[in-house]
Structure formats: structure tokens, C-alpha cells
Amino acid sequence: MAVNNDDVKLIGAWASPYVMRPRVALNIKSVDYEFLQEQFGSKSELLLKSNPVHKKIPVLLHNGKPICESSIIVEYIDEVWSSSPSILPSDPHNRALARFWAAYLDEKWFPNMKGVITAASEEEKNAAVDQLKMEGAYGEVSRGEDFFGGEKIGFVDIAFGSMLGWARAIQVMAGVKLLDEEKTPGLVKWAEKFSADPAVKDVLPEAEKLVEFSKLLSAKFKTAAASS
């Protein structure tokens, strides 16, 4: 059980959708934490020490003990700071369903979203966009409420919502709509409500900043490739 004087730190980077997940979860639970920003292109000694297996962000440090992997961190936060509001459903079946869709987003939705921007042709781009289907899942899981988690943000909302900034950035860069008012009206409304939530709005990266960040990454990769 967490106590008020817990030492909580999060190793991450502002542009990472995976880092955004524990940030939202900590905000939902009203947990004060220190955000330790990693610099692009380098890994701090603290990160390497805290996550020696994957050497990746995010890493939550709770009283000096590291917890790795974004979804695992979110579940940990929900269990340790167990006071309401809960992030995962209490019902075992609904909890399993939430974990299923969160895993689906990481395994299918996010790779296809990246495929939109890396597509070599319009045909490939359209094929990638066609794979981005979550409207039906939203209707099934939300059961008519505002969020996948019901009346409040839950596990699937955090998993999906963490990708919204990049989804909007990719819409700008690729000139396509990933969330469309005609094809995905439920998700469009959900995205607006999720983005405006107090736990989200200050940690959701702006699309314009992500577009600039993407250009910077591309330029650095090209420079590195040319010099190798």
C-alpha cells in the first residue's frame, strides 16, 4: 500500500506514447511524481541501471524500485494506489477484455498507424488506414458511456489515448484522416473527451510539436546514414 511520502519518479520522454500512459495513470490517482526526461539519442545511467533487460522507457521508480513496460506500470499504479477511481475493471471478464484490447492496440493498431506514414504508395497507405478499426470495439467495451472504461477513463482509454497525439501528427504528415467523423463518429467524440480530461490535457503532446519532432528525427537519421 502506498503512503503519502512515497518517492515516485518516472523515467521517460515527452514525445513517447508509452511514457504518456503511466503519466495519465499517475494523474488519475493524484500521485505526485518527478518526471526524469531522457535525452534523444542517449540513455542515462539511471535508465540502463533501472531497465537492464530492454534499456527502454518508461520506467517507474517507486521508492527506488523499478517497474518497466508501460501497461505493466499502469496496472501497478492501479494496484498500489488502489483508492478510487479504478483504472482496470473489477469484473474479471471485463478486466480480461480490457487487457485484450490494450494488447491489440500495441500489436496491430500502432504498427498500422506507423505504416500510414512509411507507406511507399497511396495503395499501401490506404491499406494501412483500412486496418485501423476500433469503432466496433469502442461500442462493445464502452456500452454507450463516454469512455472505454465507462463513465471515466480506464485501461483501454489510456492505451489508445496515448497514441492520439501521434495519430493527429500522422494525419497532418500523411494527409489522411485516421479518425473520421463519418466512419468513426464514436471515436471522434471519445478522442475529444479524452483529450480534454484533466488527467490528460497537460501530458498529451500537441500534434504540431510531434510533426516538428518527427522532422528532427528524420533529419538526424539521414545524417547518421550518410556518415556511416
Instruction: Express each pLDDT in 105-118 by its tens digit.
Output: 999 888 888 889 88
* Selection from 128, 129, 131, 201 nearest residue 164 by Cα: 201
Annotated domain spans of the chain: 8-80, 92-208
DSSP state of 110: H
Residue 225's pLDDT band (cuts 50, 70, 90)? low
Mean pLDDT of 54-75: 98
How many other C-beta atoms are found inside a 10 Å radius of the C-beta of residue 165?
22
Rg for the chain, CA atoms, rounded? 18
Query: How do residues 171-213 score in pLDDT, each as one tens digit?
Result: 999 998 899 899 899 999 999 999 999 999 999 999 999 999 9
Give the pLDDT score at 219: 79
pLDDT at 81 over 90: yes
| CATH class for the region spanning 8-80 | alpha beta
Q: Report the distance separating Cα 138 and Cα 130, nearest Å.
A: 17
Among the listed ranges 46-50, 138-142, 159-163, which one has the minimum average pLDDT value?
A: 138-142
Among candidate residues 96, 80, 63, the one with its CA nearest the CA of residue 25: 80
- Dihedral, 215, 221, 224, 226 alpha carbons, nearest 10: -90
Average pLDDT over residues 50-78: 98
Question: What's the topology of domain 92-208?
Answer: Glutathione S-transferase Yfyf (Class Pi); Chain A, domain 2 (1.20.1050)
Q: What proportion of the chain, given as a percentage, has pLDDT over 70? A: 94
Confidence category of residue 133, pLDDT binned at 50, 70, 90: confident
For residues 163-175, average pLDDT: 94
**Cell for 199?**
488527467
pLDDT on residue 224: 64
Cα–Cα dist 131/112, whole Å: 7
